[in-house]
Chains A and B, each alone.
Chain A
Amino acid sequence: MNPADLLVWLVLLPVLLAALLFVAPEGWRTRLGQLGTLLCASLALLLAWQVLQHGPISVALGNWQPPLGIRLHADGLSALMLALTALVALPLAAHAPAWFVRHEAAQSRAGAFFWPLWMFQWAALNLLFLAGDLFNAYVGLELSGLAAVALVALGGQRAALEAALRYLLLALFGSMLYLLGVALLYGAGGVLDLTLLGAQLEADHASRAALLLITLGLLIKTALLPFHFWLPAAHANAPAPVSAILSGLVVKASFVLLLRIWFEIFHPIGLGGAGEVLGALGIAAIIWGSLQAMRQERIKLLVAWSTVAQLGYLFLIFALAVELAWAGSVLHALSHGLAKAALFLAAGNIVLALGHDQIHRLHGAAGKLPLTFFTVALAGVSLMGLPPSGGFAAKWLMLQAAIDLGRWPYVVAIIGGSLLAAGYLFPLLRHALAGTHDPRQREGERLLSRWLEFPPLLLATLALLLGLMALLPMSLLSGGMPVSLR
């Protein structure tokens, strides 16, 4: 296959699968979904391999070149994010069916609709990672937002539906701000292609207003503090496989778009202190998110607040705008994606096995679910940024950048953030390990099937291995570094 065709397939195949999964009888959906996952994931990994071998790939759809036509573009950043999505999707395809079957008999409907909705989400994510056109990215944002809201609503409970409605309203509001910004950019530049726009934009009122609107819109979707308020309820009340998708992948898509827009369009024309503001908000998010996570009594809420904190790290790049920090930020997106997906799936398993997710009632739970709590600990290592995990490598790069630049507040925040993460993860493990466990309970039936326990373990292991293989993503990234950072 022509490598450029891969880009088109990566969006169209999940779209087609979503439609097929909707039409297919409910009994067929799991098998078809798993088969489709295998296909889509192989394509994504193949594309990452191609980019690693031959450098960035572009394709103009319908053979109409920009500015008239729409371009898809796969560089190192896209390749890594596509690969991350594939690596999360594969274990998920094994875990989700088992989870939906076990969760509640009445939710067979949720299990049946999970597949088409997740395929739509996957298509939207791939599109956003590949988008070279601002308006096309808008359609991608809406596709992703609607699918995410519907996935949250699969929870079915009142709390899930309320969180979904709030998420929907804010996501739509964010898209509106983004679209308004795109309208102004079109008025100023007369093109929608990212690269072309970057080459010709000037620092005038319209482009500054557009930057502000687009940034605000995408911050709402990425849930950077102070726009994080919708996230904990939505991520914590969704079914566990959905939480893994939302926290691990969906918030990263709007972040990647923001990253491209800032460093490809706006950075060349100078931003003044705007990047500093985002960096400071990132620090605030690390602190506030961690403090809130420590106060939570339910595991899923703790994990959701931890996402608020960990997303803060991503935004340090806007203040530390150098190559090292860029690599660190992307590496953090990858390792957080894997570790957080693992953690949410493990949290879902705990709820299934124990029937509750109260942290203070976990006494001795680690004895019942050794593999699941091992997964929690392993994912925690990456979230805390301990060696040799991916989280460690990412934070190390950011730390080095901050020290090189002499930005001491950032040095303190990066190190402090790890301590804070330990502050909310250790109590969880302590409760689970504390107390002697009644050995009689280990007899009898297995609490969880291996389909439920191994996928999160695999994800957590990948997050750990990422630190040992950090050179691979780094070499992919060096090809697609934005001009403004070189």
Chain B
Amino acid sequence: MNTLLLAAALLLLLTILAGLWRVVRGPTAADRMLAAQLFGTSGVGTLLLLAEAWQQPALRDVALIFALLAVLALVAFVRLRHEGAE
């Protein structure tokens, strides 16, 4: 069971990295934003899986904070990005 959880966490981590690849490559800001949106969700998922696998309930709190702060980052992306800011 534990290995399964860890494997799932690993998989989610890989999707985050795949998203990061998009962030690096771009080419448009929209790609970057979509990829960034992905970290939020995958990050929460990874943290919840790891909380179970490592028996660290405090990681659920981290996931909670992460979910709240991801919204902030996303809103900031949308609202603060100046047109033509590349």
Direct A–B contact present (CB less than 8 angstroms): no
B residues apposed to A, CB below 8 Å: none
